[in-house]
Amino acid sequence: MALHPLTAGELLDAASACRGRSAAEKGVYLAALGMPGQSFGDCATLPIGARDAAIVALRRTMFGERIELSAKCPRCEARLDVETTSDALLAIQAEAPARLQEIAIDGERFAVRPADSADLTAIGWIPDMEEARAELARRCLVPLAGAEVPPWLEEAEIEAVAAAMAEIDPAGDPFVALHCPECELEWDAPVDIAGVLAGEIEGAADALLDEIHLLAQAYHWSEDAILALGQERRRAYLARLQQ
Ligand SMILES: [Zn+2]
């Protein structure tokens, strides 16, 4: 099935579905919209890089190539508006090698698999970032030759697993290089593309609800009838109401 921009009705449904969901849930939901024919279950087990590529592809059909982000400088707290593109984010995904990495811990061999949305949901309740990072590393270890995943990992082992995960799924943590004009700090800021698209969908849905509200009030048409008009005709009637 071909990917198409969401219809007005689908946009309202998507905005309702995203509100109040966790970041991982939004990611799975939007990836499923970006991969027609795939179930939520399929999308929950995609590596984060592949999941986010589906979200970028969906976003491009709705909001175009340019992606505007805002960030806060971690040193001086200045606000920055930054811009990236769908192409730039999809290029990171295109580099991703498919092979699993192998590492040794305490003489036992493990494969490292990429993190998926189920992993992010599982660690989402852990308030401490360091503990969450350690648990994510443990979850992504796949024992080879009968080894058991150790109950806890040393800091160096967590870093080795994280480095292997970044190798096999570089788009799993896509980032943009930022430079603060106030204090000259340079850092790499992660891009939460699911959060960006969910915010844009909610904004567009709010604007659409305003249009529906004004037309329903003036003409007493149903929501379905107003949605069926299409954007151009809705705008034409709204313009007449303001004359
Ligand atoms: Zn700064």
Distance 184 CA to ligand 1 centre (A): 6
Distance 67 CA to ligand 1 centre (A): 22
pLDDT digits 0-9 by tens, 42-80:
999 999 999 999 999 999 999 999 998 888 898 999 999
Which sign, positive or negative, has the C-alpha torsion 73, 62, 88, 122? positive
- From residue 157, how far is each of 48, 137, 150, 154 by CA, in Å? 21, 9, 11, 5
pLDDT digits 0-9 by tens, 100-109:
788 999 889 9
Dig out the tokens for 216 from the structure: 């329903």
3-state secondary structure of 69: strand
Is residue 96 predicted with pLDDT exceeding 70? no
Contacts of residue 218, Cβ cutoff 8 Å, sequence gap at least 6: 237, 241
Distance 92 CA to ligand 1 centre (A): 26
Contacts of residue 157, Cβ cutoff 8 Å, sequence gap at least 6: 105, 137
Distance 82 CA to ligand 1 centre (A): 14
User: CB–CB of 115/132 below 8 Å?
Assistant: no
User: CB–CB of 51/31 below 8 Å?
Assistant: yes
Distance 189 CA to ligand 1 centre (A): 13
Please tell me the distance from the alpha carbon of residue 25 to that of residue 17, in angstroms, as a whole number: 10
Is residue 97 predicted with pLDDT exceeding 80? no
Distance 89 CA to ligand 1 centre (A): 24
- Range from 93-102, 158-167, 231-240 that averages highest in pLDDT: 231-240
Greater pLDDT, 87 or 95: 87
Distance 5 CA to ligand 1 centre (A): 37
Distance 7 CA to ligand 1 centre (A): 41
- Nearest Cα neighbor of 171 from 75, 82, 86 is 86
